[in-house]
């Protein structure tokens, strides 16, 4: 592996979080990384996809409960009530930041897959050992176990524990199982491209989450019922 100071090596710059929220994510991930990952291989994670998919789909009930006007999206006001009910004590600013970060499509409000990403971010951010109420984060043990698997997957991929997944880390993770088969590099590249939305060569936790939900099969499942157009 590289590290030699060749001409082509640009000075190694640390990845700087672009927002306060991202800085918090990186912090939380690094804290988590210190504990190591229970994952053995990327394949073992893929085998868990159906189970993760099933578990995440149960969030649909929560989503519908908080989508008070049943328009298929959760707006900021609905989200605030949701946080109150779940006793998630985030500041107004934090809720706004989370909302902006996860509300990525052009439609007003958060769709189901965005809501899942948001809950997982909440799970990660609440997992602060110094927090007063570190114990039950969301009061949904099954869901939290699933989020734990998701976070653990990221920790598994982030070999150098800097809170981001690089291309070479993805290659490394896939190579661990396929013992260097020819196709493995391509697979790793494809997975990486699916994650790196803004194509800046690095995958942050949010990008990872959106890709991950698609991998397990959560996509536009709320297109199933198109009533009241």
Specify the residue, 198 or 219, whose C-beta has the smaller distance to Ca ion.
198
Give the dihedral sign, CA 71/219/139/109.
negative
Which of 129, 123, 112 has the alpha carbon at shortest distance from 88?
Answer: 123
Binders in 24-83 for Ca ion, by CB under 5 A: 67, 69, 71
Torsion of CA 37, 168, 128, 88, to 10 degrees: -110
CB 73 → Ca ion: shortest distance, Å? 5
Distance CA 226, CA 79 (A): 23
Kindly state whether residue 18 participates in binding Ca ion, applying the rule CB under 5 A: no
Q: Specify the stretch interacting with Ca ion by CB under 5 A; choose among 6-14, 21-29, 92-100, 157-165.
A: 157-165
Specify the residue, 55 or 174, whose C-beta has the smaller distance to Ca ion.
174
Kindly state whether residue 100 participates in binding Ca ion, applying the rule CB under 5 A: no
Which of 174, 211, 207, 212 has the alpha carbon at shortest distance from 55?
Answer: 212
Distance CA 57, CA 61 (A): 8
Q: Specify the stretch interacting with Ca ion by CB under 5 A; choose among 25-33, 99-107, 122-130, 150-158.
A: 150-158
Q: Specify the stretch interacting with Ca ion by CB under 5 A; choose among 35-43, 125-133, 136-144, 155-163.
A: 155-163
- Total of chain residues touching Ca ion, rule CB under 5 A: 11
In the shown chain, the binding pattern of residues 167 to 206 toward Ca ion, with x for contact by CB under 5 A and - for none, equals: -----------------------------x-x-x-x----
Distance CA 156, CA 150 (A): 10
Using CB under 5 A, pick the residue from 27, 53, 64, 162 that binds Ca ion: 162
Task: Kindly provide the residue ranges of all beta strands, DSSP E only, lying in the chain, ordered along the sequence.
Answer: 165-166, 202-203
Using CB under 5 A, pick the residue from 110, 121, 158, 211 that binds Ca ion: 158
Distance CA 155, CA 163 (A): 8
Straight-line distance from the first to the last Cα atom of the chain, in angstroms, rounded to the nearest whole number? 55
Interface with Ca ion by CB under 5 A: which residues?
A: 67, 69, 71, 158, 160, 162, 164, 196, 198, 200, 202
């Amino acid at each position: 592996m590289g590290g030699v100071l060749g001409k082509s090596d640009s000075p190694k710059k640390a990845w700087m979080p672009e927002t306060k929220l991202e800085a918090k994510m990186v912090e939380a991930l690094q804290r988590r990384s210190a504990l190591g990952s229970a994952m053995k291989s990327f394949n073992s994670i893929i085998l868990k996809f159906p189970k993760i998919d099933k578990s995440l789909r149960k969030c649909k009930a929560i989503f519908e409960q908080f989508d008070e006007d049943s328009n298929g999206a959760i707006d900021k006001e609905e989200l605030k009530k949701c946080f109150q009910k779940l006793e998630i004590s985030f500041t107004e600013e934090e809720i706004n930041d989370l909302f902006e970060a996860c509300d990525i499509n052009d439609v007003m409000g958060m769709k189901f897959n965005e809501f899942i990403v948001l809950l997982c971010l909440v799970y990660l951010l609440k997992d602060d050992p110094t927090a007063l109420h570190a114990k039950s984060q969301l009061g949904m043990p099954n869901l939290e176990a699933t989020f734990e698997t998701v976070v653990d997957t990221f920790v598994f991929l982030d070999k150098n524990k800097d809170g981001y997944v690089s291309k070479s880390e993805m290659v490394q993770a896939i190579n661990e199982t396929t013992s260097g088969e020819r196709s493995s590099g391509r697979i790793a590249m494809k997975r990486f491209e699916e994650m790196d939305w803004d194509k800046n060569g690095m995958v942050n936790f949010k990008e990872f989450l959106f890709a991950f939900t698609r991998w397990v099969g959560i996509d536009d499942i709320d297109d199933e019922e198109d009533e009241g157009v």
